[in-house]
Amino acid sequence: MPFRLLFIGDVVGEVGCAAVRALVPTLRRELELDAVIVNAENSASSGRGITPDSGSALLSVADFLTLGNHSFDAEGGREYLGYEQRVIRPANFAEKLPGRGWGTFEVGEVRVGVANLQGRVFMRETPGSPFKAADEAVTELEGSEADLILVDMHAEATSEKQAMGYYLQGRVQALLGTHTHVPTADARILSGGTVYVTDVGMTGSMSGIIGLDKEDFMDLFLGRKPSRIGVSEGPAALNAVLIEVDVEGRRATGIERVYEEPI
Ligand SMILES: [Fe+2]
Ligand SMILES: [Fe+2]
């Protein structure tokens, strides 16, 4: 039996967290899931960062969380990363920052390794090389006897994510892109049994712009300078990918998109 893992893209605000909590228990049954991993970088009620509340809401139904450029944007996030072992932030962040860039969790006999990377192209922040960090993360996860390795590459540029896919093919079982909040239609299996998609898409309100308030964004683009860009209210859709891994053979054997209508 292949190992079946659902990876859910950037969860935005309370509406996104509510959708994950409502949908994941059913998806676990219907899709016969062994594990669920969620990108939580926008899960705080502000839509930026993670808080102890948003993290524990997601971990009530998920096994493990990844983050991105907004990792430390919400109050309580830094402390949370200090004590919650089931959440990681990009491995190429400065070493002195709280949290870790990779980690493992166990489902029965299977130890799942997860790493998080952030891209540098078109990003405001300039972390260290994600490629160097990827090498280190993979070596460390192999050393901790991970049976399969999934990497969340949180990046803006499709080229940088595709490059990372080829860089890690055959060394990890999944390279999944996040950050743009819009799913891409290129899910495929690279050589060596690595599943790849440029962006998983977000889990949040479909009435806004990338899950945030569209009027605030209009103000920004039309030069009216909004005081803040809030979370878009309204029902949230869920975007995810379901991946299958032959654990014995250390190869991913399938990837398919999962979309749940707004609830
Ligand atoms: Fe995001
Ligand atoms: Fe992001």
pLDDT class of 247 with cuts at 50, 70, 90: very high
User: Ion ligand 1 — residues with CB under 5 Å?
Assistant: 10, 42
Averaged pLDDT score across all residues of the chain: 97
User: Ion ligand 2 — residues with CB under 5 Å?
Assistant: 68-69, 179
CA 68/CA 10 separation, integer angstroms = 9
Cα-to-centroid distance, 100 and ligand 1 (Å): 19
Cα-to-centroid distance, 98 and ligand 2 (Å): 18
pLDDT tens readout for residues 75-113: 999 999 999 999 999 999 999 999 999 999 999 999 999
pLDDT class of 134 with cuts at 50, 70, 90: very high
The residue assigned the tokens 């990372």 is 164
Cα-to-centroid distance, 178 and ligand 1 (Å): 7
Cα Rg of the chain, angstroms: 17
Cα-to-centroid distance, 143 and ligand 1 (Å): 30
pTM higher than 0.75 for the full model?
Answer: yes
- Which residue numbers are catalytic? 70
Nearest-ligand number for the alpha carbon of 43:
1
Question: Per-residue pLDDT for 227 more than 90?
Answer: no
Q: State residue 252's pLDDT score.
A: 98
Q: State residue 233's pLDDT score.
A: 92
Q: State residue 257's pLDDT score.
A: 98
Nearest-ligand number for the alpha carbon of 9:
1
Nearest-ligand number for the alpha carbon of 155:
2
Continuous H helices in 84-213? 130-143, 158-168
CA 96/CA 130 separation, integer angstroms = 17
pLDDT tens readout for residues 203-212: 999 999 999 9
The angle, 0 to 180 degrees and rounded to 10, between the axes of the packed helices 52-59 and 13-30 is 20
Nearest-ligand number for the alpha carbon of 212:
1
Rounded mean pLDDT, 195-200: 99
Question: Per-residue pLDDT for 226 more than 90?
Answer: no
Cα-to-centroid distance, 1 and ligand 1 (Å): 33
Cα-to-centroid distance, 231 and ligand 1 (Å): 12
Question: What residue type is assigned to position 215 of the chain?
Answer: E
CA 135/CA 177 separation, integer angstroms = 17
CA 230/CA 14 separation, integer angstroms = 12
pLDDT tens readout for residues 136-146: 999 999 999 99
| Percent of the chain clearing pLDDT 90 (strictly above) | 97
Q: State residue 126's pLDDT score.
A: 85
Phi, psi of 7 (to 5 degrees): -115, 120
SS3 content of the chain, % helix, strand, coil (to 5): 25, 30, 45
What is the number of residues in the chain? 263
